[in-house]
Structure 1
């Protein structure tokens, strides 16, 4: 008799991105090189100085050993200083926990506040790894439905209704994955105040915040003296520093939350990778101008994608921002996975099916444009105009 698997994990769908890459193998290259707009990765290399620091740290005997569970002090201090300057707030090392990527940051924060049988609210559409993490842990979820007519922004009536249902936390992503929508600071303030009044955690994933317009403060949630009792901010160093393979993320929260996350992290990984911690601790301040240049480059790619879809009748770009566009395709009778598969195989354009972000979104595809340069994006109208089903 065969041994059984955990039925919760066994019934989960396979990881989405590899399935999309598998479709690409059938593309014959007739229209030119593959245009990959699927995975959210930066389409440019890390700064040479950062690579040098990574190499030096990788050769260090110190970085070969365990580090503090909460993260190396140099990185926690550098990131706290960066956060304090961005938000004009009092943030210190005690508020920072370093993780192995932002997905791990989410899982650690989630396990700190909820257990099997509890309920967490996600938006609909949701980031698929958030939804699958809840499922694996036996944590229920409620969906806060977002309206494309309202730019996929939450409305407060729905938020307040959700908070009245006994949820443990509300998880948001801004700038959003998959829609790209940037939540206005005033809306985030209103949502946070409502969460605080209800005794509910607000978990805000800010992975893409560095790609907002220069000088724009994402929100003022760190201003009140008691923000630490209800707020958790999540971040990824992967996008800004172009190091997704080195897996480095961060949590900003109150010291009590950091202490709970340390318990989870000690059992999950003990500490985040040491070499990238050492390198990024130097890079945060030293490479600020380079990061600003990348912000501008991503903005150019945003504008290029906007122009590309203007030339495509039948395709509707319902939201755009930061790294993503959520685009309504013109093939309403077909499932989004079928459209995405044919798109990859016929014209060599990779996108993520909308239904991967929630069953209501079969009419959508997510285009992650940050990993394609302006010239490549400009080829989309010719490719998509040749696409038919």
Structure 2
């Protein structure tokens, strides 16, 4: 290579899932259990794929849409938010994006400049600090507390705010712990943001998998919700459309208009076929989504019950419908060292805790998207028999 790569990019760690999946090449196991990536293992609803098949021959499906998305799709999304959240939201407060990851990029490049800082609750979704590092935006990590079960402390976060802080970033339900942040804590964090005239960014990628289908929070019921609130969502998990890259950013109409400058220079628009998939999903698939949520709840409940019985050297620290956050028993060993041994010796693929924030070497993340309920006893047995 006869050209140079940015030192900023060089300093960013490679994507953790790509790194971990490379370990598979060195394993002797042919019956791997994949607890690595949180991708639904079931296909989209047949009614949705049939609908998409019926529109692929329409020439309009292959064309650009408005940068923020088709008006009728955003209107349908607003109607769903009214049902789900009791939201007071309008189409001009929505930008459809290429996955939740692009929604996050749009939010931070619109909100911040190099040298600014965002408070990131640890453990955090690894793509978020990776993006901030590449943009020259500092991550101020709020510490993880086992005593609080991974629930953020508004008081701790408020003490971390500095003159360069532009936002507080929270993921709920948490990736990687699975913990659902209580609405009262979300409200308190929004009050902290208001006091300091900064934004609360809430990534709610897994919000349709909250046990019981409970409403995540009441922020959207306030007419002034967009004054200090930025919402990120992924319909990819909701409708099993991860490869379609179906994300969304919701904020004030003014903020969205500025974000569209970045949208136009980055991707122009979410693909039309993805928008049609989202529109069909929000209009027709609430019952289907509820069935998948119950299925994931059963997976989680069975895993938690079997994993937590006495005799397991690994400890379940926190968990939720899609994830478990586990402490490994090997003092002085990093999560990466233990995760590699799990692949090589037991055929179990997990992610090491340290990829989710500093000081998290004692932990592993387990994901339930790729494991059917019938495979859970074998997965737990491999943890229980793991050699010291």
CA distance in structure 1 between the aligned counterparts of 2:345 and 2:58, rounded to whole angstroms: 48
Asked if the contact 2:123–2:356 (Cα under 8 Å) also holds between the matched residues in 1, the reply is yes
Aligned to 2:256: 258
1:54–1:345 Cα change, 3 Å: farther
Distance apart, 1:90 and its partner CA: 1.4
Aligned to 2:7: 7
Asked if the contact 1:50–1:280 (Cα under 8 Å) also holds between the matched residues in 2, the reply is no
CA distance in structure 2 between the aligned counterparts of 1:54 and 1:35, rounded to whole angstroms: 32
CA distance in structure 2 between the aligned counterparts of 1:118 and 1:208, rounded to whole angstroms: 28
Aligned to 1:45: 43
Aligned to 1:291: 289
Deviates more, 1:353-362 or 1:1-10: 1-10
**What are the ranges of 5 or more consecutive residues in structure 2 without an aligned counterpart?**
none
Aligned to 2:360: 361
Asked if the contact 1:98–1:272 (Cα under 8 Å) also holds between the matched residues in 2, the reply is yes
1:56–1:25 Cα change, 3 Å: farther
CA offsets per residue over residues 130-186 of structure 1, 9 Å max, x none?
Answer: 000000011112111120111111112212212354410111100001111111001
Aligned to 1:269: 267
Q: TM-score if structure 1 supplies the norm length?
A: 0.96
CA distance in structure 2 between the aligned counterparts of 1:144 and 1:165, rounded to whole angstroms: 17
Pair 1:316 & 2:285 matched: no
CA distance in structure 2 between the aligned counterparts of 1:353 and 1:191, rounded to whole angstroms: 28
Asked if the contact 2:121–2:143 (Cα under 8 Å) also holds between the matched residues in 1, the reply is yes
Aligned partner (choices 69, 78, 81) of residue 80 of structure 1: 78
CA distance in structure 2 between the aligned counterparts of 1:227 and 1:164, rounded to whole angstroms: 24
Aligned to 1:143: 141
Asked if the contact 2:306–2:380 (Cα under 8 Å) also holds between the matched residues in 1, the reply is yes
Aligned to 1:374: 373
Aligned to 1:62: 60
Distance apart, 1:224 and its partner CA: 2.5
Distance apart, 1:280 and its partner CA: 1.9
CA offsets per residue over residues 332-351 of structure 1, 9 Å max, x none?
Answer: 22111111111112211111
Aligned to 2:87: 89
- Structural RMSD (CA): 1.5
Asked if the contact 1:185–1:220 (Cα under 8 Å) also holds between the matched residues in 2, the reply is yes
CA distance in structure 1 between the aligned counterparts of 2:387 and 2:115, rounded to whole angstroms: 45
Asked if the contact 1:308–1:380 (Cα under 8 Å) also holds between the matched residues in 2, the reply is no
Distance apart, 1:279 and its partner CA: 2.1
CA distance in structure 2 between the aligned counterparts of 1:373 and 1:357, rounded to whole angstroms: 25
Asked if the contact 1:74–1:278 (Cα under 8 Å) also holds between the matched residues in 2, the reply is no
State the number of aligned residues. Answer: 387
CA offsets per residue over residues 173-221 of structure 1, 9 Å max, x none?
Answer: 0000111111100111011011112100010000000001234111111
Aligned partner (choices 158, 175, 179) of residue 177 of structure 1: 175
Aligned to 2:18: 18
CA offsets per residue over residues 223-279 of structure 1, 9 Å max, x none?
Answer: 223221110110001111111111110111110111111111001000011102112
Asked if the contact 1:238–1:247 (Cα under 8 Å) also holds between the matched residues in 2, the reply is yes
- Tell me the SS of whatever aligns to 2:319: strand
Pair 1:329 & 2:321 matched: no
- Tell me the SS of whatever aligns to 1:136: helix
Aligned to 1:199: 197
Asked if the contact 1:172–1:205 (Cα under 8 Å) also holds between the matched residues in 2, the reply is yes
CA distance in structure 2 between the aligned counterparts of 1:147 and 1:165, rounded to whole angstroms: 25
Aligned partner (choices 291, 301, 304) of residue 302 of structure 2: 304
- Tell me the SS of whatever aligns to 2:169: strand
- Tell me the SS of whatever aligns to 1:378: helix
- Tell me the SS of whatever aligns to 1:8: helix
CA distance in structure 2 between the aligned counterparts of 1:341 and 1:55, rounded to whole angstroms: 42
Aligned to 2:279: 281
Deviates more, 1:56-65 or 1:279-288: 56-65
CA distance in structure 1 between the aligned counterparts of 2:243 and 2:33, rounded to whole angstroms: 21
CA distance in structure 2 between the aligned counterparts of 1:287 and 1:192, rounded to whole angstroms: 31
Asked if the contact 2:99–2:248 (Cα under 8 Å) also holds between the matched residues in 1, the reply is yes
Asked if the contact 1:81–1:92 (Cα under 8 Å) also holds between the matched residues in 2, the reply is no
CA distance in structure 1 between the aligned counterparts of 2:342 and 2:67, rounded to whole angstroms: 44
Asked if the contact 2:115–2:164 (Cα under 8 Å) also holds between the matched residues in 1, the reply is no
CA distance in structure 2 between the aligned counterparts of 1:92 and 1:3, rounded to whole angstroms: 47
